[in-house]
Amino acid sequence: MNAARTISNFGGNVRFQPTGYFEPGDETEVISILNQHRGQQIRVVGSLHAWSDLVVTDGIVLNVTHLNQVDLQPDGESTWVGAGCQIKTVLAALKKEGRTLPSLGLITEQTIAGATSTGTHGSGRHCLSQYIQAVRVVRFDPVTGDAMIELIEAGNDLRAAKCGLGSLGVIVSVKIQCRPCYGIEEHFREYRSLEPVLLAEEQFPLQQFFLAPWRWSYLAQHRREVPLKRSRLAGLYRIYWFLSIDLGLHLLILFALRIVRSNRFVRFLYRHVIARTVIQNWKVTDESSAMLIMEHELFRHLEIELFVTRDRLEPALNYVREVLTVAANPSAERSAPSQVSSSRDGLEALRGVYCHHYPICIRRVISDDTLISMSSGGSQDWYAISLISYARPTQRSGFQQVAAFLATTMSRQFGARPHWGKYCPLPAEDLVGLYPEFGEFRRTCEERDPQGRFRNSWITQLFQATSAARES
Ligand SMILES: Cc1cc2nc3c(=O)[nH]c(=O)nc-3n(C[C@H](O)[C@H](O)[C@H](O)COP(=O)(O)OP(=O)(O)OC[C@H]3O[C@@H](n4cnc5c(N)ncnc54)[C@H](O)[C@@H]3O)c2cc1C
């Protein structure tokens, strides 16, 4: 235990000092730590890649990094994974058996429990939480008060535990679906409008695409599943991708932001340089675990991601574009764009505070059967719209103002749901109102944890907002 430890997250936007920090070696130790700290607040951390306040506590913190075993089931259709196992370790273990995970986000640094607890997703499939088949969680027995392990494997309890925001107890292992390794074929193409990009989904269901700010074109990363046969030039493609995108693009953006410090230069780069450096129509096939990810963790950043249903995607993207345009123009005299007019006053306050400098990534997530993952419920696909800032932590206020404005106004206009594990500046009452089953989520948590030992102040606010909504 290290009592004085200050904990900070990947983004550097969350810092706190718990009263105790523990890295239990096994499940028995998890139980004994809980028994020694009954009556205190308890939070679990994974790789600390979430940007939201989910991990913050003034109680004790458990990091279950040593619970990292991967136990493929005999039928090869699923695997038990220790909660603290990083996704990259899961993938490496499964690959030895010719298996992989059904979906991946952009990076693999997260732990399996951390990723699934916030609905982490990629493009063209469900979020990872959907593939969870069972969860083993340590919590207090409400009758005896002793810590115990519960197996959750069905019903609304499982739908809650699949994406549980760390609020059902300490997850010690999860059973997750897996599948045979497969190939991804991908190529890039630039489009002037959204419609052809969406039409291409039929051919390339796993695609993601980027709205290039200031050029306002769409760069589609067309992707589809193919039999696993590596292209001859796959190795070269990986080097090209690493040097030009993972390193080159990011260094260029940091240069523009931190050295040149000119919004005009940022706009020039997007209008005339960046899209032209992407090689279009180069079709390459490689294994999914190489193709679907990037080294996005190389440079510290802050991200907000807003989920809208397909029928709201186009107006939502137009709205984002209009807001970013106003935010970047200190004195522009534009007539009020129709989509923004209802929130015009708030928008005027943003004038000139921030110039967006990163491609806006858009990913399709198939609707999940969970209680509160961002892509839960409804009959339509969800689209995650991501906005990222590479400004230094002390210089993020412009981005944070724009993010808060977008989160608030887009939740009202488009029912947009912010990612639980990303920057989340939406008031509690607005957030819970976006999830028809939040009340059931709360009930499931309170049944297991009536004293609220596994909640922090953010979760408590969400639960209070649910009661307020029910009473009004
Ligand atoms: C560079 C970068 C890239 C990213 N890319 C994507 C992406 O492509 N797609 C996407 O959807 N998200 C992405 N994210 C967000 C990230 O996947 C989520 O924030 C995820 O929750 C982080 O997992 P973690 O292991 O770091 O968990 P943490 O951030 O440490 O914790 C997240 C939550 O999980 C809970 N938790 C962790 N372990 C346990 C446990 N054992 N028991 C109970 N609760 C637990 C914590 O209490 C907390 O509520 C990215 C983040 C970064 C920094």
pLDDT in tens, the chain (472 residues): 655 689 999 999 999 999 999 999 999 999 999 999 999 999 999 999 999 999 999 999 999 999 999 999 999 999 999 999 999 999 999 999 999 999 999 999 999 999 999 999 999 999 999 999 999 999 999 899 999 999 999 999 999 999 999 999 999 999 999 999 999 999 999 999 999 999 999 999 999 999 999 999 999 999 999 999 999 999 999 999 999 999 999 999 999 999 999 999 999 999 999 988 899 999 999 999 999 999 999 999 999 999 999 999 999 999 999 999 999 998 865 555 556 665 667 899 999 999 999 999 999 999 999 999 999 998 999 999 999 999 999 999 999 999 999 999 999 999 999 999 999 999 999 999 999 999 999 999 999 999 999 999 999 999 999 877 666 6
Contact between 226 and 206 under an 8 Å Cβ cutoff? The reply is: no
Q: What is the pLDDT of residue 343?
A: 65
64 CA closest ligand 1 atom index = 41
- Ligand 1 mutation pick, 47, 49, 65, 165, max ligand atoms within 8 A of CB: 49
Verify whether ligand 1 is closer than 6 Å to residue 302 (CB atom): no
Contacts of 122 by beta carbon, 8 Å cutoff, 6+ apart: 103, 104, 105, 106, 206, 208, 292, 363
Q: Tell me, in angstroms, the distance from the centre of ligand 1 to residue 281's CA.
A: 33
Q: Side-chain half-sphere of 304: how many Cα atoms within 13 Å?
A: 23
DSSP string, 15-82: EE--SEEE--SSHHHHHHHHHHTTTS-EEEESSS---SGGG--SSEEEE-TT---EEE-TTSSEEEEE
Tokens of 217: 């074109």
Verify whether ligand 1 is closer than 6 Å to residue 114 (CB atom): yes
Question: What domains does the chain contain, in order, with CATH numbers?
Answer: 7-180 (3.30.465.10)
67 CA closest ligand 1 atom index = 41
Compute the CA torsion angle 96, 101, 105, 111 (nearest 10 deg).
Answer: -70
Verify whether ligand 1 is closer than 6 Å to residue 87 (CB atom): no
Verify whether ligand 1 is closer than 6 Å to residue 65 (CB atom): no
Verify whether ligand 1 is closer than 6 Å to residue 42 (CB atom): no
50 CA closest ligand 1 atom index = 19
Q: What is the pLDDT of residue 342?
A: 57
Could you count the other beta carbons within 10 Å of the beta carbon of residue 89? 18
**Rounded CA separation 103/93 (Å):** 16
Contacts from 152-160 at CB under 8 Å and sequence distance 24+?
Answer: 156/371, 156/440, 156/444, 157/444, 158/132, 158/134, 159/369, 159/370, 159/371, 159/437, 160/370, 160/371, 160/372, 160/440, 160/441, 160/444, 160/445
Verify whether ligand 1 is closer than 6 Å to residue 175 (CB atom): no
Residue bearing tokens 């400004």: 391
Contact between 218 and 191 under an 8 Å Cβ cutoff? The reply is: yes
43 CA closest ligand 1 atom index = 47
- As a residue count, the chain comes to 472
In single-letter form, the type of residue at position 319 comes to Y
128 CA closest ligand 1 atom index = 11
Q: What is the pLDDT of residue 382?
A: 98
Verify whether ligand 1 is closer than 6 Å to residue 55 (CB atom): yes
Verify whether ligand 1 is closer than 6 Å to residue 45 (CB atom): yes
Verify whether ligand 1 is closer than 6 Å to residue 359 (CB atom): no
Tokens of 31: 């139980």
Residue bearing tokens 């000092």: 17
Per DSSP (E only), the strands in 310-422 are: 360-365, 382-389, 417-418
Residue bearing tokens 């719209």: 385
Which protein residue has the closest C-alpha to ligand 1 atom 27? 114
Tokens of 321: 């574009």
Verify whether ligand 1 is closer than 6 Å to residue 292 (CB atom): no
Contact between 298 and 246 under an 8 Å Cβ cutoff? The reply is: yes
Q: Side-chain half-sphere of 259: how many Cα atoms within 13 Å?
A: 6
Residue bearing tokens 């963790």: 297
Q: What is the pLDDT of residue 213?
A: 97
Q: Tell me, in angstroms, the distance from the centre of ligand 1 to residue 427's CA.
A: 21
Verify whether ligand 1 is closer than 6 Å to residue 24 (CB atom): no
Q: Tell me, in angstroms, the distance from the centre of ligand 1 to residue 377's CA.
A: 21
**Residue 111 Cα to chain centre, angstroms:** 13
Q: Tell me, in angstroms, the distance from the centre of ligand 1 to residue 225's CA.
A: 26
pTM: 0.96
- Ligand 1 mutation pick, 120, 176, 307, max ligand atoms within 8 A of CB: 120
